[in-house]
Amino acid sequence: MPIYEFYCKNCNTIYKFFSRTVNTEKIPHCPNCKNVKLKRQISMFAISSGKKEEDSDMPPIDESKMEQAMGMLAREADKIDEEDPRQAAQLMRKLSDATGMKMGPGMEEALHRLEKGEDPEKIEEEIGDLLEGEEPFLLESKTKSTAKKPKPKIDETLYDL
């Protein structure tokens, strides 16, 4: 029984909706704003590195681009040699290109070093603190506004879809 996430641009909040069946068509209204239709979010996944990861506050992204990127990522991930850091970096570059998300400066440095074949554990040791302090991906805004929209709030209530 899936739980779907939806974003309300009006109140900058992510809501969770429980469905008794798979339901990819229904789009609910915002529980707070009432007559505002929500935008479906892609649930993100994480790859564990042994460290406890905190909840992601990713802003809304283009759903169709993300679906295509995730399909590509799954196909490409099956082909890579996990022992070759260059292939992992190449996969991250493809994901960035496919989604339109640009990487932060710390992630760019880490990928550049992976592309040169450096040991991922050495990179983590040397710049891990930098990577923990920044968002790994940046979403470019269509307007070059310097005002940064705050991260969306997450309503922990589980609503019925």
Q: Could you tell me if residue 49 is inside a domain?
A: no
Residues 72-95 pLDDT 10s: 777 777 777 877 888 888 888 877
Q: Could you tell me if residue 31 is inside a domain?
A: yes
Residues 4-32 pLDDT 10s: 889 998 899 999 988 888 767 888 999 99
Sign of CA dihedral 115, 121, 122, 128: positive
Which residue in this structure is represented by tokens 């307007």? 143
Q: Could you tell me if residue 124 is inside a domain?
A: yes
Instruction: Please tell me the predicted confidence (pLDDT) of residue 140.
Output: 52
Q: Could you tell me if residue 156 is inside a domain?
A: yes
Give the chain's domain count. Answer: 1
Q: Could you tell me if residue 51 is inside a domain?
A: no
Q: Could you tell me if residue 54 is inside a domain?
A: no
More confident residue, 149 or 16: 16
Which residue in this structure is represented by tokens 């990928």? 111
Instruction: Please tell me the predicted confidence (pLDDT) of residue 108.
Output: 86
Tell me: pLDDT of 110 over 80: yes
Domain that holds residue 101: 3-42+60-160
Instruction: Please tell me the predicted confidence (pLDDT) of residue 30.
Output: 93
Provide the percentage of residues in the chain whose pLDDT is more than 70: 71
Backbone angles phi, psi at 106, to 5 degrees: -65, -45
Rounded to whole angstroms, how far apart are CA atoms 113 and 123?
8
Three-state DSSP state, 39: strand
Three-state DSSP state, 20: coil
Helix, strand, coil distribution of the chain in percent, nearest 5: 35, 20, 45
Rounded to whole angstroms, how far apart are CA atoms 130 and 107?
9
Entry pTM: 0.42
Tell me: pLDDT of 128 over 60: yes
Q: Could you tell me if residue 93 is inside a domain?
A: yes
| Rounded alpha-carbon distances, angstroms, from residue 130 to 79, 112, 124 | 30, 15, 9
Residues 64-76 pLDDT 10s: 666 777 777 777 7
Q: Could you tell me if residue 55 is inside a domain?
A: no
Mean pLDDT of 51-65: 54
